[in-house]
Amino acid sequence: MSAPKTIIAPSILAADFAKLGEEARAVEAAGADWLHVDVMDGHFVPNITLGPDIVKALRPHVAIPFDVHLMIAPVDPFLEAFVAAGANIVSVHPESGPHLNRTLKRIRELGAKAGVVFNPSTSPSVIEYMMDEVDLVLVMSINPGFGGQSFMTSQLKKIETLRRMIDATGRDIPLEVDGGVTPQTAPLCIAAGATALVAGTAVFKGGPGAYADNIRALRGS
């Protein structure tokens, strides 16, 4: 039996911000599985990007799931707004609130899937006793805050560890990697156990005519 197709989630952060709706439609047409939305507050990470109003404006343009990564603290007050705006998956950092378990439960209560994001220094052990509350695991292979950084190979061991933890649950939890993902680093992530890849520059370079080829290159097909 062939391996399942790797989920590709282009990061809208690398798109042309003057025409986000058009860019979202273009990557969906090119074969993207999810649209990854990086939300930064200038406090938890050193950059400011977008808020729920932009997510709401983008939602009618595509049918693929919105994979929303909240790099904001405190995160709890904003969960409802992002789910109401159209987020299908909401991922948070353990460091962005006092009670990760409560945050994940709240995301699920709102009707979205709940993800946990691991910064390069965050240990997989933070979710060891609450895997039943987790619908997505996201490993940052760069320090969050800016696109275009180089892939940190030190995170491959973490991906392997989290793969074992997920497999032990018997649940189909996507294991996603974000940061420096290119056609060269994607196979390393997949070999370590990743099933979903976030890519910004690697998808959006070359303009809409190149998106389908860029996505195929990340999948290795």
pLDDT at 91: 98
Residue 146: what pLDDT?
65
- CB burial of residue 76 (10 Å; 0-12, 13-18, 19+): middle
pLDDT of residue 149: 73
31 annotated binding-site participant: no
Catalytic residue among 33, 41, 135, 178: 178
11 is in an annotated binding site: yes
Q: Is 147 labelled a binding residue?
A: yes
Angle between helices 20-29 and 211-219 (to 10 degrees): 50
Per-residue pLDDT at 148: 65
> Which tokens belong to 46?
């050193």
Residues contacting 18, CB < 8 A, separation 6+: none
Does the pTM surpass 0.85? The reply is: yes
From 16, 33, 38, 41, active-site residue: 38
Told to judge if 38 belongs to the known catalytic residues of this protein, a careful annotator would answer: yes
> By C-alpha distance, which of 43, 42, 35 is closest to 14?
35
Decide if 133 contacts 111 (C-beta within 8 A): no
Hey, where are the domains in the chain?
Answer: 7-219
Per-residue pLDDT of the chain (221 residues; tens, 9 = 90+): 456 799 999 999 999 999 999 999 999 999 999 999 999 999 999 899 999 999 999 999 999 999 999 999 999 999 999 999 999 999 999 999 999 999 999 999 999 999 999 999 999 999 999 999 999 999 999 887 666 678 999 999 999 999 999 999 999 999 999 999 999 999 999 999 999 999 999 999 999 999 999 999 999 87
Query: Does the annotation flag 41 for ligand binding?
Result: no
The question of whether 172 is a catalytic residue gets the answer no
Tell whether residue 86 is among the known ligand binding residues: no
pLDDT of residue 3: 63
Topology of the domain comprising 7-219:
TIM Barrel (3.20.20)
Q: For 36-50, give one letter per residue: b (16+ CB within 10 A) or e.
A: bbbbbbeebbeeebb
